[in-house]
Amino acid sequence: MTKKISAALLAVALAAPLGASAQEIKLGDTTLRFNAFAEMALVYVLSGASNTGDLYQAGPDVVLDNSGPDPKLHTRGLGVAYSRFGLSSNTPSKVGAIGMRIEGDFALSSNGTAGQTFTNSKAFRVRHAYGTVGDWLLLGQTWSTFADLNAFADQMDENPTVNLAALRAPMIRVTFPAGPAKIQFAAENPYATLSGPAATRYTLPDLIGRVDFGAGPAALSVRGVVRQFITRDTSTGAAADAELSGYGFGGAVGCALKFGGDTLALDASYGSAMGPYQYGNYGTGDFLVVTTAGTASIEKWSTLGLSAAFTHVWNPQWRTNVLGSLLSASADTAIQNANTGANKQVIGVAANTYYSFAKNAWVGLEVWYNSRTTFATATAAQDNKGSEFRALATTHFDLF
């Protein structure tokens, strides 16, 4: 078997220049498929700045005016960390087709421009690692069931617009048909802070339900999530092991409409303590422990997210996208006063154009405008608003 696998891999390597026919091979009853691409991004921040060391855009972390890095100090960098490769298989069995997928990239470490002394090396990171039984059971890590990929924008920047549930998690997911719809239920690994004085933990997985309607020219999804969190009681006089607990709730609707060669994608989400199920919500979208008159309580943010994207295909080689998103938070006075630096509103707008100069290669240019507003100024000299304008040029080469 080892010799067969080695010979098959060698055949794929030799046949790769021949095109799509080399994308899959047969090993007995098993069909293997390979995917990979090499991608490089050149990023230039034209105005403003970000508090994160990430090479890619991060609207929720835009530096506020009159604070932090000098807005005149433009930043730039080249990055290849999101280049990736993967393998999947499909094997028939008595209980249904047994599928497997594993894929990774090199974005585990910081994507900043530093690292020349380490030859710009990046650590390998698992993106997908799961198995499937037929069309009804998935075990492992992949995109969250709450993520509607049909509603994601066609963009070059690796960080998504705010609102979207751009996360992958280990999970147990079951799927079954219900007339014209497809229903999914999943128990997914929660995102929690398990160390430090404000440690957050859980005893239950995040529970997600989803219903999908339609396909082809029109697709609609309705999703819901319930998540638990447990944290320390930090009030005066509380026992060292005293805890507080609560729940977060959220719902979303997404759709994609195709007409001609164009596509319109829309998504809206709303909830309380939704956390990572709305991108850009870390810290703002969870909760705070607020102590009033010596008594601690959990106070949660309520957040509304909206995103829209439109793709126009000019011809087989050229396509253009415009996209926009908004994330708006609200809470009572107690939590606002406890975290005056939290984001009240984040807005992101972008446009791009792709040029496919070969079947398996393209180049593109993308521009972004991001802004954010916090609930209050952190200091008398600091505004509670900030904005950023950046450009991104990308080269992309697929294996096949």
> Which DSSP state fits 335?
H
Q: Which of 276, 371, 357, 375 is CA-nearest to residue 317? A: 357
Give the helix ranges, DSSP H, for 131-267.
none
pTM flag (> 0.85):
yes
Alpha carbon distance 306, 194 (integer Å): 30
**CB 80, CB 56: distance < 8 Å:** no
Determine the Cα angle at 256 with ends 251 and 258, to 5°. Answer: 170
pLDDT at 68: 60
| Token pair 């995103």: residue | 307
pLDDT in tens, the chain (400 residues): 555 545 554 444 434 443 333 478 888 999 999 999 999 999 999 888 887 778 899 888 888 887 765 655 677 788 898 999 999 999 999 999 999 999 999 887 654 444 555 667 778 899 999 999 999 999 999 999 999 999 999 999 999 999 999 899 999 999 999 988 999 999 999 876 555 555 677 789 999 999 999 877 999 999 999 998 888 777 766 676 778 888 889 999 999 999 988 999 999 999 988 888 998 875 445 777 777 766 777 778 888 999 999 999 999 999 999 999 999 988 666 566 656 677 889 999 999 999 999 999 999 999 999 999 888 765 555 568 889 999 999 999 999 8
Q: Which two tokens stand for residue 393?
A: 């040029």
| Token pair 């939590």: residue | 335
Phi, psi of 334 (to 5 degrees): -60, -45
pLDDT at 341: 72
Alpha carbon distance 383, 295 (integer Å): 32
Domains in the chain with CATH codes: 31-398 (2.40.160.10)
pLDDT at 193: 59
Q: Which two tokens stand for residue 199?
A: 């440690």
Phi, psi of 275 (to 5 degrees): 55, -125
pLDDT at 334: 55
Residue 132 exposure: Cα atoms within 13 Å on the Cβ side: 18
pLDDT at 3: 56
Determine the Cα angle at 346 with ends 345 and 350, to 5°. Answer: 150
Alpha carbon distance 4, 27 (integer Å): 8
Alpha carbon distance 280, 351 (integer Å): 19
101: enclosing H helix or E strand: strand 98-105
Residue type, 312: H
